[in-house]
Amino acid sequence: IPLFPLSLVLLPAMPLPLHIFEERYKEMMADVIPNESEFGVVLAKDDGIVNIGCTASVVNVMHKYPDGRMDLVASGQRRFTIESLDEDKSYLRAHVTFFEDEDMRSVPADLQFRADAAFRKLMTLERPEVAPDAAAGSGRLSFQMGQLINDLDKRQTVLALRSEVERLEYLIKIVPEYLFQRQQTALAKRVGPLNGHAKHVTEG
């Protein structure tokens, strides 16, 4: 599959807006869009790419520019592990193995209750304009919660775990500290501009 390394972690059912401007990715989209095929999104780090990613399919091409650039929206589909890389084309490709959850246990009621509460808190902080009830119900809850975690390593962990129960347990464990840190950051941004500014006194 074609690979699109990005500084983000894509999850199943997660929307992905993209502005395509590099020649190699224009070529990739010319191969992908007419065939309605998927491309793989992997997290790019300083020392290379992570070997677990998620495919995306193009949902809508919003705008095409005369020079071949385009704005589009894709959506996360299937998780995969990279087995080997292929550099024959201008863009990177990979032989991959797709995977699904191995642990198919249903989520216990108490875990579901705590996960729902954590999801609502995340939504209130990260998407205050959207009612949590309106956002719920589209895909697995763990992946919906993972979209709201703006920490790439934590979101990568959510992507890699192969059990809804494990993902929800992990998220419930990290959400309180994550929310605290986000609130502290927001507070610092509000307070920061107020510090160190004395009124200017004109001598006369």
* Alpha-carbon distances, residue 110 vs 31, 103, 133, 168 (angstroms): 47, 18, 19, 11
Please report the pLDDT score of residue 201 as a whole number.
Answer: 42
Predicted local confidence at residue 69, as pLDDT: 93
Q: Scanning the structure block, which residue is given the tokens 């704005």? A: 71
d(CA 183, CA 177): 10
Q: Which residue in 123, 98, 107 sits closest to 166, CA to CA? A: 107
Stretches where the chain sits below pLDDT 70 are 131-139, 192-204
Cα–Cα distance between 195 and 158 in angstroms, integer?
Answer: 38
The alpha-carbon radius of gyration of the chain (Å, integer) is: 21
